Amino acid sequence: MKRNLVLSFLAIAAAALVLNAQAGSGGGITSSAPQNVRPPRFLRLYVFDCGTLHNSDAGRYRFKKEELATTEMSVACFLIAHPKGTLVWDTGAVPDNAWTPTGIPMTQHIVLPDSQQRDITVVKSLKGQLSELGYSPSDITYLVLSHYHYDHTANANEFAGAAWLVRQVEREAMFAKQPPGTTQPSTYSALRNSKTIILGTDEHDVFGDGTVVIKSAPGHTPGHQVLYLKLAKTGGVVLSGDLYHYPEERRLDRVPTFDFNEEQTRASRVMIEAFLKKTGAQLWIQHDFIGNAKLKKAPNFYE
């Protein structure tokens, strides 16, 4: 009798878990009332499709075209949902307000302030992908950019209401009289007045439980950083920022021609590789077109 009671209790508990899981993924259907999105019980990582960058110049990365499996680059944005808050990591290459999604891939031509030009194909807006999960930009607790290049900041202004976690050197460069080439200052200008938390340590544990940790990895830009996530089922994942772009950089030890400080990039790579070895975490190279294609995209998630 007692055993039966325990069993039926377990059955109810299991049913509750199933319901909870359905509410979790099904929650993606609601597009309004984002305050109704309940914080998840466990850390979640959502991968958004922020486009495909057509890189026509492998030489900038010190490659010959034939050394690369593909010159195409994925542009990834991420939402981290923690029981205590949310964090957006990188915001894409094309501002949502520059185009209207139709469901058909659209190629946007971007001219940077230093006259360099890029073509990026996008299908979904970042805001649209957030909204599919029931979130709006005003629900986001923290904004973190791996670095200031235009293909990571496009929608930063949307998150000006979040607390911005940034290194002093990076922020200073972004708001310098003459910001670095390949930045698009108009896309992040609103961050000037954001609540800003300057990161002064090599590691910053965002929620205080070791599951979401920003790690300094300078070189590509002065305050470049990567994000370590400790997921209950998936295990450790490091989001690369632009520590690498092509996976071949990792094998063949190539550093882009346009890094702020190549020696720093090499030192950061050595440090992160040691961290990956120590923790057993996977490295997700954000611009790795082939690797990114294999990732589950929102509304699915990693936990």
As a whole number of angstroms, the distance between CA 273 and CA 292 comes to: 20
Smallest separation, CB 191 to Zn ion (Å): 18
- Nearer residue to Zn ion within complex by CB, 24 or 51: 51
Q: Phi then psi for 45, rounded to 5 degrees?
A: -125, 120
Contacts for 148 with CB less than 8 Å, ≥ 6 apart: 170, 173, 174, 179, 180, 183, 188, 221, 223
Q: Which stretch binds Zn ion (CB under 5 A): 2-10, 84-92, 225-233, 239-247?
A: 239-247
Helix/strand/coil percentages in the chain, nearest 5 = 35, 25, 40
Coil/strand/helix, residue 207: coil
The nearer residue to Zn ion, 139 or 151, going by C-beta atoms, is 151
Between 215 and 287, name the residue whose CB sits nearer to Zn ion: 287
When binding is defined by CB under 5 A, the residue of 96, 242, 249, 288 that contacts Zn ion is 242
158 binds Zn ion (CB under 5 A): no
Q: In the bound complex, what is the minimum distance in angstroms from residue 5's beta carbon to Zn ion? A: 57
**Residue 26: Cβ within 10 Å count:** 11
Q: Are 40 and 83 in contact (CB under 8 A)?
A: yes
Closer to Zn ion by CB, 72 or 242: give it.
242
Tokens read off for 50: 């922020």
Query: What's the closest the beta carbon of residue 231 comes to Zn ion, in angstroms?
Result: 23
- Unique residue bearing structure tokens 């790795």: 288
Quick one: 81 or 120, whose CB is closer to Zn ion? 120
Cα 84 to the center of its chain, rounded Å: 19
Task: Choose which of 72, 96, 151, 288 interacts with Zn ion (CB under 5 A).
Answer: 151
Smallest distance, Zn ion to C-beta of residue 30, A: 32
* Minimum separation from the CB atom of position 56 to Zn ion (A): 15
Whose Cβ is closer to Zn ion: residue 158's or residue 242's? Answer: 242
Distance CA 210, CA 168 (A): 23
Placement of tokens 């936990």 in the chain = 303
Under rule CB under 5 A, how many of the chain's residues touch Zn ion?
Answer: 2
Q: Output the smallest distance, CB 300 to Zn ion, in A.
A: 24
Binding part of the chain for Zn ion, among 34-42, 76-84, 132-140, 146-154 by CB under 5 A, reads: 146-154
Footprint of Zn ion (CB under 5 A): 151, 242
